[in-house]
Amino acid sequence: MRLLFYAAKIYDRKSFDPVLERFPGITIDYIEHELEPRTAALAEGYDAICAFVSADVGAETLAILKEKGVSVVLMRCAGYNNVDVEKAKELGITVKIVPGYSPEAVAELAMGLALAVNRRLYKAYNKVRENDYSLKGLRGVNFYHKTAGIVGTGKIGAAMARICRGFGMRVIGYDMYPNPSLDFVEYVSLDELLAQSDLISLHCPLLDSTYHMINIESIKKMKDGVILVNTSRGALVDTDELIEGIRLNKFLGVGLDVYEEETGNVYEDRSDEIMAHSVTARLLSFPNVMITSHQGFYTMEALEAIAETTLKNLTDAKAGERTGNDVA
Ligand code: NAI
């Protein structure tokens, strides 16, 4: 089976090539081009293509892929909001995803951000490098015996809840579907979670109902000195209103792996651009904010799991097997 791998980065080859040895029936060609209508025709002669979060897998792209003989679209990620699922079904194209490849990878980054903003690790790192051993601006708080509020207690939220419990925190959660594996989590309403938590970590998906769920109204319900972490999707937070909340001195710290403006610049080097109108740049002007570039999934284990499941998905698709990973 011939697989064309779009938007390939060096780390993709490094994670897929070793796993490929366990799938002798598959060959992969890696290309740097992003999948979109202009590049879909490159898939002529391939059985399947592999794409990522930033691809355009809309109706036009799918129609070209179909015309070129592609019957399987493999998303190497959990989300598929960029895929026109109905069109794929109409064309008879199978679409498979990789759900929950490593919840701990994302949860560990969430705790890393919480610790970094609490203890100002980024500031401490730079100070000591400049021979400044003073403690000015570095005071934090203990997490031990504080309250962690987990919004969305699915796979990643559950992993974060377990980490917080390991820190000796009281853990409260908000979810429409309480997770039966989390007997130590006390479920509360969102308003109660906002009012009681010292650390709030967002782990619910981006839906119409969760868009901008963190806004100035919800921020005002939070405790003063709260830490907010978002490793889920940028648009859960209204960035302008977050800035307003930071200005009101609400937050001890804010850690973001995802932010509203990331679409279109995921994993690109934009260091030569002047981001004068960027709200992300405005956020970065605050000393208690730390932003990372959507790296929650970026661990050896998560990348290997993504490669393994993606290639297994192709084998299943070719055998005509439908699994829980099928979305079309
Ligand atoms: P999941 O589907 O296992 O869990 C999501 C949970 O959120 C479910 O329990 C669901 O009931 C709950 N939920 C839905 N609507 C809610 C609402 N309005 N309020 C509270 N809870 C609600 O998903 P998983 O695997 O835990 O992923 C969570 C999110 O993490 C994904 O949607 C994705 O946006 C993000 N993610 C981020 C990555 C990164 O690299 N930073 C990597 C992978 C996922």
- The CA–CA distances, whole Å, from 84 to 89, 120, 123, 210 equal 9, 42, 44, 21
Of 294, 301, 308, 321, the active-site residue reads: 294
Cα(179) to ligand 1 centroid in Å equals 12
Cα(203) to ligand 1 centroid in Å equals 5
Active site residue 21: no
> What atom in ligand 1 is closest to the CA of residue 295?
40
Percent of the chain predicted with pLDDT > 70:
98
The label of the residue with tokens 């853990």 reads 171
Q: Residue 196, exposed/middle/buried by CB under 10 A (0-12, 13-18, 19+)?
A: middle
Provide the CA 172 distance to its chain's centre, in angstroms: 22
Determine which residue's CA is closest to atom 36 belonging to ligand 1: 232
Angle at 100 between CA 106 and CA 262, to 5 degrees: 50
Residue 222 has pLDDT above 90, yes or no: yes
Of 260, 262, 282, 321, the active-site residue reads: 262
CA distance 206 to 236: 6
> What atom in ligand 1 is closest to the CA of residue 257?
41
> What atom in ligand 1 is closest to the CA of residue 177?
11
Task: Using only the alpha carbons of the chain, give its radius of gyration.
Answer: 21
> What atom in ligand 1 is closest to the CA of residue 258?
41
Tell me the best of 80, 109, 156, 298 to mutate to test the pocket of ligand 1, counting ligand atoms within 8 Å of each CB and taking the most: 156
Active site residue 32: no
CA dihedral over 127, 128, 132, 136, signed as positive or negative: positive
This prediction's pTM: 0.90
pLDDT tens per residue across span 192-208: 999 999 999 999 988 89
Cα(314) to ligand 1 centroid in Å equals 25
6: DSSP letter? T
204: DSSP letter? S
Using CB distances shorter than 6 Å, the residues near ligand 1 are 78, 100, 103, 106, 151-157, 174-177, 203-206, 209-210, 231-233, 257-258, 294, 296-297
pLDDT tens per residue across span 168-196: 999 999 999 999 999 999 999 999 999 99
User: What pLDDT shows up at residue 274?
Assistant: 65
Active site residue 203: no
pLDDT tens per residue across span 78-98: 878 899 999 999 999 999 999
Walk across the sheet containing 289-291 and list its strands.
Answer: 186-187, 170-174, 147-151, 199-202, 226-230, 251-256, 289-291
Averaged pLDDT, 231-250: 96
Least confidently predicted of 138-142, 146-150, 294-298: 294-298
Structural domains in the chain, CATH included, are 2-101+300-318 (3.40.50.720), 103-291 (3.40.50.720)
Residue 265 has pLDDT above 60, yes or no: no
Cα(260) to ligand 1 centroid in Å equals 16
